[in-house]
Amino acid sequence: MDLDDILGSRPDDPLAALVREDLDRLSVTELEERIAALEREISRSRTKIDFAVNHRASADAIFKR
């Protein structure tokens, strides 16, 4: 998968801005905080994926798909 597919073409996309951000200006502590925040967001995203998959499976079971 191409990074452009993930980030999209919107110039104001927050994920695209995050990827382009200059990390050289950040301290080690700031980088560690950034990583912790990103790990929380990954966890939140995985939870949403799990919910969507389970919801779909439940709907499929109800309608015998």
Residue 9 gets which letter from DSSP? S
Convert the pLDDT of each residue in 10-62 to its tens digit: 667 888 889 999 999 999 999 999 999 999 999 999 999 999 988 887 877 78
CA pair distance 65, 59, nearest whole angstrom: 8
How many structural domains is the chain composed of?
A: 1
Full-model pTM: 0.66
Q: How far, CA to CA in Å, does 5 sit from each of 18, 20, 28, 37, 44?
A: 15, 15, 30, 23, 21
Could you tell me the end-to-end alpha-carbon distance of the chain, in angstroms, rounded to an integer? 29
CA pair distance 24, 58, nearest whole angstrom: 47
34 falls within a domain = yes
> Residue 28 sits in which domain range?
24-65
